[in-house]
Amino acid sequence: MSGERVHRASYEIDVTAPAGVVYGLIADTTQWPLIAPSSIHVERLDFDGVIDRFRMWFTANGSVRSALSHRTLDSARTRIEFLQELPAGSAGFAGSAAPAVSMAGTWTVEPCGAGRSRLRLEHEFTVAAGPPGDVAWLLLATDTNSRAELEQLKENAERWREIDGLLLGFEDSVRVHGPAELVYDFLYGVADWPGRVPHVARAEVREDVPGVQCLRMETRAEGGGPPQATESVRICFPHASRIVHKQTRTPPLIEAHTGEWSVLPDETGVTVISQHSVLLRAADVERVLGPAADLPRARAHVRATLGRESLSVLQLAKRHAESAIRSL
């Protein structure tokens, strides 16, 4: 097409892990927010074991983008082909102006002897005619994210025997006798949490596009100590009363952390759920918890800390909604 240019890029990395292990990490898109640094959230739309359609939110050069994609999985050849049906748009939503007209490629895992493999990522994308800065932006984002993804996939694949012990998932919930809208408003209004939520010392929110929140937060440690700084991206779905989030700057002990707030109304009230998925950082265990600490203790510590903070928010959301009803 006139005015468009095709770009190709190829990246590869050697991994000390079986090809099947590496392929398995790539194949499950629902786990990408935990294992791919740039991936924020995946909404799977359809999956039949071979064709996987999903919308993914991710970071690119410091901004939040979204794309609607599908992938074709070939487990026998340890190969995955991908195509963005709607190339990545700006500010979290596909369809807005972006230099990419098309984006496709392949993941290939090649066995290289006992317990070793080579992972290759290939891109082919068409760039719209436009300012040179737009094209440079896309090339930089593709290169930066691809290299980071391969490095993180290599690290996780090479500890495949231990990774199950590093993964932690749990949820907490409360029952609310009040409007679901007020519960959601409390959870959405994270900028107002300082002064309302005891463990939140500071919260700065940037929301350039409604529903995509970039959050910087400082939380107070139990028993004193300096506040702990984190950064997160929150994708808000008001019509579904859901907020999904991923920490892009994590505290000690946590390598990756994703979660979701969901508000579920029924005939008699509302159930509010806080869900967490965590990938622990094993190298921090003894440094943070002491020389006698082990992985089970780290799991218990992270579960208790995140659970305590989440339940505090849930209880305050409950009070907010139920107090409004009583005042009426």
Distance CA 53, CA 43 (A): 9
pLDDT at residue 98, rounded to an integer: 53
pLDDT at residue 97, rounded to an integer: 39
The amino acid that residue 311 corresponds to is L
pLDDT at residue 93, rounded to an integer: 37
Q: Which helix (H) or strand (E) holds 273?
A: strand 270-280
Specify the pTM. Answer: 0.92
24-40: pLDDT as tens digits: 999 999 999 999 999 99
State CA 12 to chain mean position distance. Answer: 23
Over range 284-288, report the average pLDDT.
Answer: 95
pLDDT at residue 326, rounded to an integer: 60
Residue 44 has pLDDT above 90, yes or no: yes
234-260: pLDDT as tens digits: 999 999 999 999 999 999 999 999 999
199-227: pLDDT as tens digits: 999 999 999 989 999 999 999 987 777 88
The amino acid that residue 167 corresponds to is L
Gyration radius from the chain CA atoms: 21
**3 state SS for 9-51:** EEEEEEECCCHHHHHHHHHCHHHHHHHCCCEEEEEEEEECCCE
pLDDT at residue 90, rounded to an integer: 44
pLDDT at residue 96, rounded to an integer: 37
Taking alpha carbons only, the member of 19, 80, 95 closest to residue 47 is 80
pLDDT at residue 3, rounded to an integer: 59
pLDDT at residue 124, rounded to an integer: 93
Taking alpha carbons only, the member of 265, 271, 257, 269 closest to residue 307 is 257
Query: When comparing pLDDT for 96 and 233, which is higher?
Result: 233
80-102: pLDDT as tens digits: 999 998 766 543 333 333 567 88
Taking alpha carbons only, the member of 156, 102, 148 closest to residue 124 is 102
pLDDT at residue 89, rounded to an integer: 52
Average confidence score pLDDT of the chain: 91
Break the chain down into helix, strand, coil percent, rounded to 5: 30, 45, 25
Residue 1 has pLDDT above 70, yes or no: no
DSSP structure class, residue 220? P
Residue 127 has pLDDT above 90, yes or no: no
Residue 175 has pLDDT above 70, yes or no: yes
Domains of the chain with CATH codes: 5-161 (3.30.530.20), 164-327 (3.30.530.20)
Distance CA 291, CA 293 (A): 6
3 state SS of 308: helix
Whether the CA torsion 157, 162, 164, 167 is positive or negative: it is negative
Residue 327 has pLDDT above 90, yes or no: no
